[in-house]
Amino acid sequence: MRSFFKKSSCLCALFLVTSIGFAQSAKQAVQASMFHNDVSTQAILQKNLNRILKANIEGTPYYDETFNSAKISPIDKVFMIRYNVALDVMEVIQQNDTVVMVKENRNYVIKQNKGNITYKILENVEAKEDKLGYYVQLTNGENIKLYRKDRKKFVEAKAAAYGNINKTSAKYKEQKSEFYIEYGDSGSAVKLPKKKKSLIKLFASKQGDIKSFIKKNKIKVTKEQDLVRLINYANSL
């Protein structure tokens, strides 16, 4: 049986990717550890296939299960992509293979046509692991940019204590999105606090103006549309 993973010859000069072949049987794939400790691309893809092929799983790890066209800058070429929210990886179709972009290539910007979604790779320095991730860009101000971090987690099935009563299936559970800002083009994601007082402190010398704007416009700092208004206002100061 050919190797489960092979290099993508076309994309390696543009961004490092590891391709995944689907020749390996589903039986072998589902036998892989669902919670592999190896953080390599191979392990990530193994976990991904394992969960997709495993039966009786509710939900999906993807933001959108279908592959959608997207332009990846700065190479300005259109690819078919889909974002795996649960694993925080971007999958790309290339020459009948599914390849994964390596997040260390942080200069790439992915603009998906469907939904007009822009993904950028940012570093969350406060994260304990997997500091680099994909963030949905919501504003494009010069001084401050707003991002949304979509989240899903895999929940194992739970056996019932007696028979099949109260048995729960394995599932992908959607979690509340988190919001982050980036100062300038720093490449760092700063998580927005859910409390107004803590959030206002992030704006340094503009704290007074920000506080007044929040109060006057009844801004909810956990609501996406309100945060877009707030960040756009902050950039206007």
Domains of the chain by residue range: 5-191, 194-237
Whole-model pTM? 0.76
pLDDT on residue 47: 56
Q: Which residue did the predictor score with more confidence, 99 or 41?
A: 99
How far apart CA 199 and CA 11 sit, in angstroms, is: 41
Average pLDDT, the chain: 79
DSSP string computed for the chain = ---SEE--TTTTTTS-EEEE-S-S-HHHHHTS-TT----SHHHHHHHHHHHHHSSSEES-SBSSSS-EEEEEETTTEEEEEEEETTTTEEEEEETTEEEEE-TT-TT-EEEETGGGEEEEEEE-TT-SS--EEEEEE----SSEEEEEEEEEEEE--B--SSTTTT-B-EEEEEEEEEEEEEETT--B-EEPPSSHHHHHGGGGGGHHHHHHHHHHTT--TT-HHHHHHHHHHHHH-
Q: What is the pLDDT of residues 151-189, one digit of tens each?
A: 998 888 777 666 556 667 788 899 999 999 999 999 999
User: What's at 32, amino acid-wise?
Assistant: A
